[in-house]
Amino acid sequence: MKILVTGGAGFIGSHVVATALARGWEVRVLDLLDPAVHPQPVRLSDGIELMVGDVADPGTVASALAGVDVVVHQSAKVGLGVDYADAPDYVRNNDFATAVLLAGMASSGVDRLVLASSMVVYGEGSYSDDTDATVRPGPRLATDLAQGLFEPRHPVTGAPLLPALTTEEDALDPRNVYAASKVAQEHLAFAWARATAGRAVVLRYHNVYGPGMPKDTPYAGVASLFRSALARGEAPQVFEDGGQRRSFVHVSDVARANILAVGALATAGPGLFRCYNVGAQEVHTILDVAGALSAAAGGPPPVVTGGFRLGDVRHITASSARIAAELGWEPRHGFDAGMREFATAPLRGD
């Protein structure tokens, strides 16, 4: 088995690579090694074939695909970004680059793909009203947020809604540029599978954390931002009231989900396109994370700021029942132990 891991020098990609090597697989990594993402020299494990190049370049992709059985596509620009001026960069690195990769796969006959997607494709998660009816809320209003009214409201009655676990059957509703780019990646992969009889598994990561997360960047996840603040001796700054619900999942569990997806593709029929949530069903709030990290690091307690960003969603928590049933994946790292480890784990850029 020889796999190509795009973005294999990155946070999640490097854990996928290490897990694949432990299985005895051959691994080729295609990574741009952008200094903005990799401020320090990258050290890869022995036995990895590294190609430094851009996934958006057709010639580079053609070379990277030679002799490969499966592509694990991790390369992407992530996070909410700084402002809308980031939009062209998201489209180029996520959508255009994915189109170039899939076109190269079609030409070279590589017909198996694992695509890293994200919970952001759902927008807000699942909600119900006080009668247990499922309700899809619209975007939260800036006027509500400014008044500290953070819970999504029923579009007719205006009553606050109740959060529920999100399944793969929930509608896609991207609410920022990054989310829109991830939905486009999924649609491109679906079109590729249908047109070429390729086989694709899409993994919708929820809040991934763990050793090697990038630090001190607006594109990093919230757990990394809290961890970076504590490393500076500062209190984590928590937006809204800290009650935002998320499914935090350890990066080693995410890497294992990728390996199981590769295995499933080996026996899948032509034209397969299947999406899976990858997140712990153990629900925690953003304030839970900040508090756990502060306590484990012996740092100052978190500060709830009441601030907000319009691109953020209130609650998004995973039902991972499908991937458990079909691929046999369940997270092995519990929240408490995982956060204790992460509180002192090295970050990328340390």
Is residue 157 included in any domain, yes or no? Answer: no
With beta carbons less than 8 A apart as the criterion, state whether 338 and 210 touch.
Answer: yes
Vertex 122: Cα angle to 156 and 73 (nearest 5):
170
d(CA 308, CA 144): 11
- Residue 142 has phi, psi (to 5 degrees) of -60, -35
| pLDDT of 169 higher than 90 | yes
Is residue 147 included in any domain, yes or no? Answer: no
Mean pLDDT of 64-78: 96
SS3 content of the chain, % helix, strand, coil (to 5): 35, 20, 45
Q: Average per-residue pLDDT in the chain? A: 93
Is residue 115 included in any domain, yes or no? Answer: yes
The maximal CA–CA distance of the chain, rounded, in angstroms, is: 60
Instruction: Say which DSSP state 119 is in.
Output: G
Is residue 255 included in any domain, yes or no? Answer: yes
| pLDDT of 349 higher than 70 | no
| pLDDT of 292 higher than 90 | yes
Least confident of 76-85, 122-131, 244-253, 274-283: 76-85
Is residue 138 included in any domain, yes or no? Answer: no
What is the structure's pLDDT at 39?
Answer: 63
| pLDDT of 113 higher than 70 | yes
Structural domains of the chain, count: 1
Is residue 64 included in any domain, yes or no? Answer: yes
- What are the tens digits of pLDDT across the range 13-52? 999 999 999 999 999 999 998 877 776 667 777 789 999 9
| pLDDT of 216 higher than 80 | no
Q: What H or E segment, with its residue span, contains residue 17?
A: helix 11-22
State percent of the chain over pLDDT 70: 95
Q: What H or E segment, with its residue span, contains residue 251?
A: helix 251-265
| pLDDT of 110 higher than 80 | yes
Is residue 350 included in any domain, yes or no? Answer: no
Tokens of 147: 């008044």
Tokens 């949530």 locate to 277
Q: Which residues of 97-129 are buried (b: 16+ CB within 10 A; e: fewer)?
A: bbbbbbebbeeeebbbbbbbbbbbbbbbbbbee
CATH number at residue 80: 3.40.50.720
What is the structure's pLDDT at 128?
Answer: 95
Q: Which residue has the higher pLDDT, 3 or 47?
A: 3
- What are the tens digits of pLDDT across the range 231-281? 999 999 999 999 999 999 999 999 999 999 999 999 999 999 999 999 998
Mean pLDDT of 212-235: 85
d(CA 260, CA 16): 11
d(CA 235, CA 227): 10
* Residue 301 pLDDT level (bands cut at 50, 70, 90): very high
* Residue 219 pLDDT level (bands cut at 50, 70, 90): low
**Nearest alpha carbon to residue 255 among 236, 278, 238:** 278
Is residue 254 included in any domain, yes or no? Answer: yes
Range of the domain at 29: 2-125+166-343
Mean pLDDT of 132-159: 93
Tokens 């209003």 locate to 141
